[in-house]
Chain A
Amino acid sequence: MTPQSLLQLTSQKCTTGCPILDRLLYGGIPCDSITEIVAESGSGKTQICLQLSLHAQLPVSHGGLAASSLYLHTEFPFPFRRLHQLCLSFRSSNAHHFPVNDNPCDRIFVQSVHTADHLLEIMSKTDPFIENSKNQVPVRLIVIDSIAALFRSDFDNTPVELKRRSSLFFKISSKLKALAKRFNLAVLVTNQVVDLVGPNEGINGLRIGNLVCLHTSGRRVCPALGLAWANCVNSRLFLSRNEEVIREENEKSNGQSCDFVKKKMRKLYVVFAPHLPESSCEFEITREGLFGVER
């Protein structure tokens, strides 16, 4: 056992495809660590996952990992159409990196996962899979979308079951981290939210991370799977969406008048990360993908 030289240890990052988001994340999603994205449904978690799987294929000089990705999805159906749409715009903006007949979708390996035990089984098979992929385009990104779906229904609310669930969290997380370290992978996991009822912040009055409380769609929420899972991830990002009524000035023929327009405000927050300060940025989702907005 020899200590690793810190000067040679560089943490590689995978670009998200948007320079504004990359700036917020100090380069992108880091390798050799588990990043979790927490959001309610319809906030853009899957969009980020798909976008990252595509951008991981960019060469390292352009912020990618020059790698293919393994996409484990638990919610059905897998958004193939959206992936194709994103793929088209990705290809057109990065045409010079890929040969003409190449399809970036070929380098995204999709696998459906049904239960937590199934996930553990898959991960034991992932080792040789990633080894073999080294010959072509190596796998350097694993996406699990979403981890919460595996645990929300299988477990009763008794202490024994909850303990078993916690122990599964640590098992899965430790396997993922071992894989991440061995092959220098970036791991992205998505999680759902649960509503907070009551006067306290956080489940059981516990605050985790920079934000006092997570708000989305006008409700107070907190990430699913509790404190045990929060201990398993290295970084946590939160996507919120809110409907805002904005006053817009409109010039009309008979002078100025203003309209009240409903706008969807989407924000990305850093809840906790070992290398990131507390920060947030606004973003929007378009046909071409998910991009940060500078105000």
Chain B
Amino acid sequence: MEIWRLPISASQRGKLISAGYTSLSSLSSISSSDLARELTVSESEAMNILKVASHSRGSETSNASCSIVEGAQSAWDMLHDEESLMHITTSSADLDNILGGGIHCKEVTEIGWSSLSLIVNSVLKYKLTTAFGSESIIFMLIGGVPGIGKTQLGIQIAVNVQIPNDFGGLGGKAIYIDTEGSFMVERAFQIAEACIEDMSEYNRFLRKDFQECKIKMLPQDILENIFYFRICSYTEQIALINYLDKFLSEHKDVDMSLWSQVKVIVVDSVTFHFRQDFDDMALRTRVLSGMALKLMNLAKRFSLAVVLLNQVTTKHTEASFQLVLALGDSWSHTCTNRIVLYWNGNERYAYIDKSPSLRSASAAYSVTARGIRNSSSSCKRIKMM
């Protein structure tokens, strides 16, 4: 704890710690009068403490970190950062509800555009990340049978991450890694078009100013901001993920503005090339966990979200069949968030299988010509109310 290092009296130190200030960064954004009130000290004392803190922080900027353990962050700081994370809207209002208002940027989840009320809600929850960012990164696995809409979700995410900040989006770019050849440009164009139409609709609804209704974005611009990679074997997949580090740092240097960085990596699907004969299963597990680690590092370093689309397979358990994510248990456990897409009668459902912060819940969604949207039956329910 850095406070220990500050050249202040022991009683002041004790008061700081009991008030919850354990690191220098937490003292950076507080004013002296607030600090004085919290510590029940005089304002001049508080100003002194702050001066000492900023002085020692200034002298330590040459070091990589200001804490005893490099990269360590106290839980308090993490909570503070998490609360100020940006939320990405999901397509479906129901899905948004079970996801606690939207998807954390560091956590990859499904993104999409949904009904107007959802957009408004998300905008109200929109906050900026702090300058220090959050250390907690998570990435998400989305699994489902063929035809449930995994690729559609992936494309919707790659489009929705580009929604500008004014509309509650991240205004970022996307990297789309296609391993199966399911990405169809015309479909991406369709989804991009529909997204822009929804944005202008929202504009008209909120602003009521017809001059400003025109969104300057074109579907072509959205497609340009998706970096598309097509890979044909697992070695290519690993090589690409190793290369992304260089790609992202180059891209970051070129474009210094915070709002046009790559914010999401979508891999569709991460399992395909690993299901061929790997003579040594242990090798496969090692390769997979190495890849997962690399992706987590990318997410951490560049503050982006990682969405991995997974295939499913059946597992024989006690003479019955169970649907499980492909590539085995150890792979499923590397990801902190899992969403399973499944059919329930005639409807598509998304179920949060595992998440450290969200409750297990399921929500219906549908795949329409405009992309991922609320399922029509839920709309009827809302209308009846």
Contact = CB atoms under 8 A, between A and B. Distances in A.
Interface string A268-295: 0001101101000000000000000000
Given A4-B228, A6-B224, A174 B233 contact: yes
B181 interface: yes
A100 interface: no
B76 interface: no
Given A1-B243, A4-B229, A209 B147 contact: yes
Nearest to A271: B147
Contacts of B343: 207
A208 B146 contact: yes
Contacts of B232: 174, 177-178, 181
A267 to B, nearest CB: 18
B186 interface: yes
A159 B321 CA distance: 13
Q: Is the interface of B mostly helix, strand, loop or mixed?
A: mixed
Given A9-B185, A9-B228, A274-B151, A167 B277 contact: yes
A7 B192 CA distance: 13
Interface residues of A, number: 45
A29 to B, nearest CB: 13
Interface of B: 145-147, 151-152, 175, 180-188, 220, 223-224, 226-230, 232-233, 239-240, 243, 247, 272-273, 275-277, 311-314, 316, 321, 323, 326, 343, 346, 369
Contacts of A227: 145-146, 312-314
A174 B224 contact: no
A180 B147 contact: no
A9 B175 CA distance: 16
Contacts of B229: 1, 3-4
Interface string A193-211: 0000000000011111110
Nearest to A167: B277
B218 to A, nearest CB: 11
Contacts of A233: 146
A207 B347 CA distance: 11
A212 B345 CA distance: 8
Given A11-B185, A32-B181, A206 B145 contact: yes
A177 B314 contact: no
Nearest to A164: B277
Contacts of B146: 208-209, 227, 230-231, 233, 236, 272
